[in-house]
């Protein structure tokens, strides 16, 4: 099962992708998490990506596409994968399709989580993320069992550098300009499914499971 999560920053792509990965036993591949891990480890890729991420801009396609194509060819992706935050531009979607085509494969599902912009801005202020494993929490809607501590790995929870209100606004603008056109791209491919992302976490997940079967 090969799945793409679409949706604005803060729509809940990561939250739902983790649940999908668990239920269907496929890896969760988040380009944002990969870049943040590289930043934490001080790699060359991390240094380059940080310049763009801190501004709320997209990391250039050249730094992104090969990384994902390599990742989906690893052994653990044999039964599929859930992509979170990739593709984010039409050229990225085309690069993904081209890579799959070489193996006579296509994507199966593109799940668009719909949340209005004003709702997003409210959500982002309460988000906390684990510095260690990337798990995401919300101080109101999805709090950890112990304040400031990750339920999964005990790591410390922090506010992401790009969750400042002005950077969130910039990310939303970039989303509407560069990523939203993918909704039509996948509608034309016949694999688009939209879900209402303003529901509770569990209700959003039930709707997704109905789609995936």
Which residues are known catalytic residues?
13, 88, 127, 160, 171
Nearest to 30 by CA among 17, 43, 46: 17
134 binds ligand AP5 (CB under 6 A): no
35 binds ligand AP5 (CB under 6 A): yes
Q: Which is nearer to ligand AP5, 2 or 88 (CB)?
A: 88
Nearest to 124 by CA among 111, 136, 112: 136
CA–CA distances in Å: residue 178 to residues 47, 93, 152, 175, 182: 23, 12, 34, 5, 8
Map tokens 């509770």 to a residue: 200
CB-based contact 79:25 (threshold 8 Å): yes
Residues 135-164 contacting ligand AP5, CB under 6 A: 136-138, 141-142, 162
CB-based contact 107:100 (threshold 8 Å): yes
For 66, the 3-state DSSP assignment is helix
38 binds ligand AP5 (CB under 6 A): no
Looking only at the bridges linking them, the beta strands covering 81-84 and 109-114 are unpaired
Q: C-beta of 14: minimal distance to Mg ion in Å? A: 3
Residues 86-125 contacting ligand AP5, CB under 6 A: 86, 88, 92, 123
Q: Which is nearer to Mg ion, 164 or 190 (CB)?
A: 164
C-beta neighbour count of 173 within 10 angstroms: 12
150, interface contact from Zn ion, ligand AP5, Mg ion, none, CB < 5-8 Å by kind: Zn ion
Residues 1-20 contacting Mg ion, CB under 5 A: 14
Binding residues for Mg ion (CB under 5 A) = 14
Binding residues for ligand AP5 (CB under 6 A) = 7, 9-15, 31-32, 35, 52-53, 56-59, 64, 85-86, 88, 92, 123, 126-127, 136-138, 141-142, 162, 171, 197, 199-201, 204
């Amino acid at each position: 099962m090969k799945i793409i999560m679409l949706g604005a920053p803060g729509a809940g792509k990561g939250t739902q992708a983790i649940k999908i990965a668990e239920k269907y036993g496929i890896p969760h591949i988040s380009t944002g998490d990969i870049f943040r891990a590289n930043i934490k480890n001080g790699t060359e890729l991390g240094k380059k990506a940080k310049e763009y991420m801190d501004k709320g801009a997209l990391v250039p396609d050249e730094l992104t596409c090969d990384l994902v194509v390599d990742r989906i060819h690893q052994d653990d992706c044999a039964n599929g994968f859930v992509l979170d935050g990739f593709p984010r531009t039409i050229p990225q979607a085309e690069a993904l399709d081209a890579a799959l085509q070489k193996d006579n494969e296509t994507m199966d599902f593109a799940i668009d989580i719909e949340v209005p912009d004003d709702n997003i801005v409210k959500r982002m202020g309460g988000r906390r993320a684990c510095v260690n494993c990337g798990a995401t929490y919300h101080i109101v809607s999805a709090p950890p069992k112990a304040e400031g501590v990750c339920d999964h790995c005990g790591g410390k929870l922090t506010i992401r550098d790009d969750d400042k209100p002005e950077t969130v606004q910039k990310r939303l603008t970039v989303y509407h300009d560069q990523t939203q056109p993918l909704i039509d791209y996948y509608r034309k491919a016949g694999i688009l499914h939209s879900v209402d992302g303003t529901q509770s976490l569990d209700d959003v997940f039930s709707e997704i499971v109905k789609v995936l079967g």
